Amino acid sequence: MPLARMRSVVLDCPAPKALAEFYHAVLGGEITFVEDDWVVLTVDGLRLAFQQVDAFAAPTWPDGERPQQFHLDLTVDDVDAVEARVLELGASKHDVQPGQAAGDSFRVYLDPAGHPFCLCWD
C-alpha cells in the first residue's frame, strides 16, 4: 500500500498565470485555481501547478550551474504539427537534441519560462 498519493507537480516560474496558460494550450484541461503567485492546471485529474518565484532563474541544461531539475515528456501523434504550435505559443526548440543522435523519438524544447520539456512519439 502506498504511503501517499500524488497531488501536484509544481513548476517555479516568474509568471504563473502566463505559464499555466501556455500548458493549458498544449495539454488542454482546465485552470482550476488562480491566485497572484499560484495557479493550478488540472488535466485528466492530474494537477500541474505554477508557483511564482521572484528571483527565478531558468535551467541551463545540459551545461551550466542550474540543471533542468525535472522535465515533462509529452506524447504526441504528429510531432511536426505540434512543434509548430508550441513554437507559436512561445516555446523554443532547444539547441541540444540528444534524441536525434541516438535515433530516439523525442525532441527537446523550452517552455516560455525556460523549463525543458520533450515532445515524444512512437
Q: HSE (CB half, 13 Å, CA atoms) of 12? A: 10
Q: Which cell goes with 105?
A: 523519438
pTM assigned to the model? 0.92
Q: Tell me: the pLDDT tens digits for 77-106?
A: 999 999 999 999 999 999 999 977 767 899
Task: Pick the closest to residue 108 from 92, 89, 122, 121 (CA basis).
Answer: 92
pLDDT at 34: 98
User: What structural domains and CATH numbers belong to the chain?
Assistant: 1-55 (3.10.180.10), 57-122 (3.10.180.10)
pLDDT at 111: 97
Task: Pick the closest to residue 27 from 105, 114, 122, 111 (CA basis).
Answer: 111
Q: Which cell goes with 60?
A: 541551463
Task: Pick the closest to residue 12 from 43, 46, 54, 42 (CA basis).
Answer: 54
pLDDT at 78: 96
Does residue 62 have a cis peptide bond before it, meaning omega lies within 30 degrees of 0?
Answer: yes
- 49 touches 41 (CB < 8 A): yes
pLDDT at 63: 87
- Which residues of the chain, if any, have pLDDT below 70? 102
